[in-house]
Structure 1
Amino acid sequence: MRPVVLACLVPALAVAGVLLAAARANGPARHDHDPDVLWRIVHERCVPNQLGENRPAPCAVVDPARGYAVLKDRDGVAQYLLIPTDRVTGMEDPSILRPDAPDYFGAAWHQIDRVQARLGHTLPRETMALAINSRRGRSQNQLHIHVDCLAPDIRVALHWARPRIGAGWTPLILAGHSYRATRIDGQDLDGVYPFRRLAASLADPAREMAGHTLVVVGTIWPGGRPGFILLDDMAKPVSGDRASGEELEDHACRIGHFEPGRAIRDSAYAP
């Protein structure tokens, strides 16, 4: 299939041109000073505080039974991180594919309410995204899922791509990188396990998972059914693509000030 080209979407959102450019300038969050800082915060502070004093600070929540903590990231107005309470390095960690692995993505989607609470208002599911970066595209050696707003231009690109996304993998060009997309139906992600869906599409998951990024974006499919778009990109060192799906998010959450859905729905070009 022919990749989606973002340039063709400009007429539908001419009123948001400046806003879209600003969103692309917002790069992935970095914690370069210490690649283990997230693990230390969760392991040495949040979990002991929860178990000893029944308070998760500095995390927003710690759920030892389900194996995760939620931390407000220092970057972004409303970004949260979902972090395992066990030592899990990232996409390459074999534990994420075990049958008894915690449902990290399912839990992460339930944190969008925290993002919206910090913004002070509710946004459509199509504006919310979850992202985990590849080994090349991350700064931390502890798995973490970024829970934040979708960049406005990516919101528009995915709206136009929806009719072409099905059970297989559809190629898309997003943020200048070659992603592929597949369809997920359902109101939430409980029991979906995107890690397993990616692994099932790879020839050698044990060797290949480390080079991939995953992004999950809420959507409403044509016909009104709620669901998600699962996006995958693979690191390509020669071209400079580090497979950092976080690039599709906007940590300034500008989409909270301008929701492109109205412009799309009112456009004569809307499908």
Structure 2
Amino acid sequence: MNATGNTNGMPRRRFVALSGALGAGALLTGAGGSAAAAAGTGPVPGDPECCPCPTDPNPPGGAPSPCPPSQLQPLCGSPADTDPLWRDVQYCTQGIVPPSGQKPDCLKTTPNHVVLHGRPETPHNYLLVPTCRITGIECPFLLTSGVANYWHEAWEDARRGGDVPVQYPDIGLGINSMGARRLQQLHIHMAGVRPGTQRRLQELESSGRVAPQPAQWGDTQYRAPVTGADGSGDRTYRILRLGALTPNLFALLNVNVVRRFGLDMAGQTLIVVPKMTATGFAGTFYVLNSDSSLPSGTNTCDHLLVYN
């Protein structure tokens, strides 16, 4: 189920205005999850005038993380929207049957996300979908400290021994850009990756071609071609190594790549490949990003992931 669309016709100047109103400058910049407001922006999450949202990313008692406030509906979607994937979420969480009458298989339902089959339906093609109404990577609420850590949750579900394990030797997690998706509800693909992709990333790491720190993510020496799983040839990715998925990856991308190079968050693709060895998971992750501004860049994760 690969997911194109727009931001409800939202001009970029309106995007910037609303992003500032929410405090998109209050971004996570490291594993500790600390927030820092950008100079000159409006109120940030946690300020009473901004929005009545808690900022603890791990609410006690299994309670759901907060969802985007109403003022962000033009950018992040309205709960009244009729996107098919959002309606699948509503069925899993509220029992509301989609107008088509086709009920999805709710493989896992939590306060923060549901897991559904991808298309084609295989044992290595699943989707993690937030229970919040979030259209996609362009939603500025994803940059705040209160948002659920969907990447960590996807890994915990997809890993060997997880609740919905991806049955493939190597696992990949990915999200498409706004222009490359078909469905307008945020979804992280939980799928396979080719053994050649895993080998290539380890070779790049051994030769010093993988950024060891988020601040270096966009440096030229950490951009490298990786051969696609779909026979489409090499695509260029910015490659970072992380020891855990505890940071907010959307915020790391925004601070260290998007804002640094004057790019558009909506045009980015993001892929996570856990490092694997003969004995299993090696305890670190490769985080890949690309967009159409790079030579041979791409705005879709579909070149690296194996769905069939």
Q: TM-score, normalised by structure 2?
A: 0.59
Inter-partner Cα distance in structure 2 for 1:129 and 1:205? 26
2:252 counterpart residue number: 197
Q: CA deviation at 1:104?
A: 0.5
**1:201-220 pair list within 5 angstroms:** 201=256, 202-203=258-259, 208-219=264-275
Inter-partner Cα distance in structure 1 for 2:144 and 2:171? 27
Contact 1:92/1:206 (8 A) holds in 2:
no
**1:169-208 pair list within 5 angstroms:** 169=217, 170-174=222-226, 175=228, 176-186=234-244, 189=245, 191-201=246-256, 202-203=258-259, 208=264
Q: CA deviation at 1:47?
A: 0.7
Contact 1:70/1:83 (8 A) holds in 2:
yes
Inter-partner Cα distance in structure 1 for 2:237 and 2:193? 15
Inter-partner Cα distance in structure 2 for 1:118 and 1:96? 25
Q: CA deviation at 1:250?
A: 0.9
2:204 counterpart residue number: 161
Inter-partner Cα distance in structure 2 for 1:133 and 1:31? 8
Q: Structure 2 stretches of 5 or more lacking a match?
A: 5-81, 97-102, 229-233
**Which residue among 33, 36, 40 is the counterpart of 2:83?**
36
Greater helix content: 1
Inter-partner Cα distance in structure 2 for 1:173 and 1:159? 13
Q: Deviations 1:42-65 (Å, cap 9, x if unpaired)?
A: 12x111139xxxxx962111112x
Inter-partner Cα distance in structure 2 for 1:111 and 1:206? 34
Q: Deviations 1:119-163 (Å, cap 9, x if unpaired)?
A: 3xx84xxx1110001111111111000001112332221121122
1:62 counterpart residue number: 109
Q: Deviations 1:2-25 (Å, cap 9, x if unpaired)?
A: xxxxxxxxxxxxxxxxxxxxxxxx
The one-letter amino acid paired with 1:61 is K
Query: Which moved further from structure 2: 105-114 or 209-218?
Result: 105-114
Q: Structure 1 stretches of 5 or more lacking a match?
A: 1-28, 51-55, 253-271
**Relative contact order, higher structure (CA 8 A, sep 6+):** 1
1:131 counterpart residue number: 174
Contact 2:3/2:184 (8 A) holds in 1:
no
Inter-partner Cα distance in structure 2 for 1:250 and 1:115? 20
Q: How many residues align?
A: 203
Change in CA separation of 1:139 and 1:196 when aligned onto 2, cut-off 3 Å: same
Q: Deviations 1:159-214 (Å, cap 9, x if unpaired)?
A: 2112221222210112322211011014xx2x222111101112279971101010
Change in CA separation of 1:206 and 1:80 when aligned onto 2, cut-off 3 Å: farther
Q: CA deviation at 1:235?
A: 2.8
Q: Which runs of 4+ in 1 moved over 6 A?
A: 204-207
1:110 counterpart residue number: 156
